[in-house]
Structure formats: structure tokens, C-alpha cells
Amino acid sequence: MERVPQEAGAAEAQQARRAVAGKARRMVIGGGVLVVVALLAYWLGTSGGNGEGAAPRASATPTPSATLTVPDVFKRVGPSVVVIQAGKSLGTGVIAADDGTILTAHHVVKGTKDVNLTFADGTKAKAVVASSNPELDVATLKPAKLPEIVVPATLGGAVAVGAPVVAIGNPLGLTYSVSTGVVSGLNRSADRSTEEGDLSGLIQFDASVNPGSSGGPLLDTRGLVIGIVVSIADPGGDEAFAGIAFAVPIGVALGGTEGDGPPGDGPEI
């Protein structure tokens, strides 16, 4: 029987140990690479890098898409609001189109051709009445001069009882005043002179307005013009705000249909 020399056996054993050690090293290195790859993938997936190329992830609590704070509403719509001085009458208007056309209340400019505007940036201009609808108490004005940057408001929006609203206007000459409240009722009516006839289909709201506010925008929390302020309820006969105000719905102001509703006496403001 042939015997294997001891030296050869020792050499083979040493070679086997080296092979096992090399394999172990390769496994450690391979495992380290996998850990690095996994960490890199996690880092990129959680935008730990610069975010470029990272896939968007859904939010657990979606943010409301359009609701604004009152300061944000004013910041958005304030540049669209205009101070109107028509003879002895003070009122408010809102830029309603890119060409600078201004929407206001008819009674603010009624009976005078001397209409003066002051825009939010301080620009002053004369204006002429482009159209008027006494039955709906709305009118449009065409300025002779426009500010360097014209910022028209966005018109339109749904109205619901209890919904929050914002009014911007010039009550008692306090220009660019902001007040807040809610829609108190819909399809209200307000008495006027026999010659003009009563207003109907109005939005009732409780944001504070006073003489000088007429023609100003009534806004929802998205900054959309939902109405044009026209009058207040005045049980004391002193033209002071009593918590009830009225606005012509913007759809009506733009030529839509009227509605009917219970009475709500009040002077034009």
C-alpha cells in the first residue's frame, strides 16, 4: 500500500485553509457591499440626497388644496381693490378683467360723471361708467389710466350658509379695511326706493361693512370674489353696522338670474 508523505499532506491542508480564508474574506466584502447598497438606496428613497430623481411619496395627511388664511386672502386680492370717489359718494371697486375694467355698486356712481379712482399702488385715475344695471345695483367702470401692474381678481365660487367670508373695502374712509364673518343666509331681499325697486337674491353675511364698503368684493377662503357688497340692515336708522349685510352674488352681477327671499331692510352703503 502506497503512503502519502507527511509533508505533502501538510501542504495540502495549508492550501485548503487558505482557500477557506479567501472565501470568508470574499463573503465579508460581498456582505459589506450589500450593506452599502442598501443604505444608499434608503438614503435616496428618503430624499437624504439632493432629491433629484427621487420618486414622490404620498402624504399621510393631504394638505387642503386651496384654503387660504385671511392675511393670504388680503395679500392675493388687495391689489385688485380700488377706492372710488364719485362726487360726494365714497365706495369700493374690484378689478374684474385684464383690461382694468372695475366692478362696483351702481349706487356708488349713480348721478355723477366725476369718478375718481385710487388703485392699491397709489395710482390715481379718472373713470367713466362703461355699463350699469340699477335693478341689480351693479356697474362697471373704465379707467382712463391703469397702474403699471394690473392685478384682476378671480371671479366666481360656490356660496353656502355658514361658509367663512372676507370683505375688503373702504368703510367710513378707512381704506383697505378687512373684516371676516360667515354667510348668514341666501336669497335675501333688501328694500330700496320705489323708483329702483327692491333687491332680491342677495347673500346675507355678518362681516363688518359700513358706508364706503359698497362695491367691494365679498370673498371666500380661496380668494374668489363671490359677491359685490351693496347694503346693510339698519334698524337704528343711523347707517351703522348691525351685524347684517348684503351682497349681490357674483353670478348675478355678471348677468345671471335673480332669486327671491325674505325681507332684509337696509340702506345702500
Which residues carry out catalysis? Answer: 107, 137, 214
Q: What count of residues does the chain have?
A: 269
**Contact status, residue 207 vs residue 179, Cβ threshold 8 Å:** yes
Using a 10 angstrom Cβ sphere, with 0-12 exposed, 13-18 middle and 19 or more buried, the burial of residue 254 is middle
Percent helix, percent strand, percent coil in the chain, to nearest 5: 25, 30, 45
Q: Which three cell numbers stand for residue 197?
A: 325697486
**Contact status, residue 217 vs residue 94, Cβ threshold 8 Å:** yes
Residues ≥6 apart with Cβ < 8 Å to 267: 231, 232, 234, 239
Nearest alpha carbon to residue 218 among 261, 174, 165, 263 = 165
